[in-house]
């Protein structure tokens, strides 16, 4: 009788250890996947031919009209974002200007030597 109880306890302990090990492996795999996917989702911000990038902090957002302070020079500029212009979040999701808010740091892609906004990236 005691030998039978001892076998059951030993079997239960082994099963508990296996379940715990599986849980640890799954958790570790999940966190590593989440970390690597967030690291690989860094958005590339580049300007093409006849385009220029400016970096700024938004000081006012009213609909698709934005006012910002340019990084570096401190100059204040105003832009109108055309309807349908891509706004890209830090995680790479494409959205609209409705996601912009005062205080966002952004990269703004302009048509070279104009104030025509072609795309906006939220950088912070």
Name the residue with higher pLDDT: 19 or 38. 19
Tokens coding 11: 């079997």
- pTM value is 0.65
Range from 2-11, 67-76, 88-97 carrying the lowest mean pLDDT: 2-11
Spatial contact of 99 and 122, defined as CB atoms under 8 Å apart: yes
To which residue do tokens 């938004």 refer? 58
Examine the pLDDT at 22 and tell me if it is beyond 80: no
Examine the pLDDT at 83 and tell me if it is beyond 90: yes
Range from 20-24, 57-61, 76-80, 114-118 carrying the lowest mean pLDDT: 20-24
**Residues contacting 88, CB < 8 A, separation 6+:** 43, 94, 95, 119, 120, 121, 122
């Amino acid at each position: 009788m005691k030998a039978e109880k001892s076998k059951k306890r030993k079997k239960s302990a082994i099963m508990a250890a296996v379940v715990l090990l599986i849980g640890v492996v799954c958790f570790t795999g999940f966190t590593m996947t989440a970390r690597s996917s967030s690291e690989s989702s860094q958005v590339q911000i580049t300007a093409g031919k006849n385009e220029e990038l400016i970096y700024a902090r938004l000081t006012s957002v009213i609909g698709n009209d934005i006012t910002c302070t340019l990084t570096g020079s401190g100059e204040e500029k105003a832009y109108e974002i055309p309807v349908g212009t891509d706004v890209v979040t830090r995680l790479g999701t494409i959205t609209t200007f409705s996601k912009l808010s005062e205080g966002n740091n952004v990269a703004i892609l302009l048509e070279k030597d104009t104030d025509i906004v072609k795309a906006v990236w939220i950088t912070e």
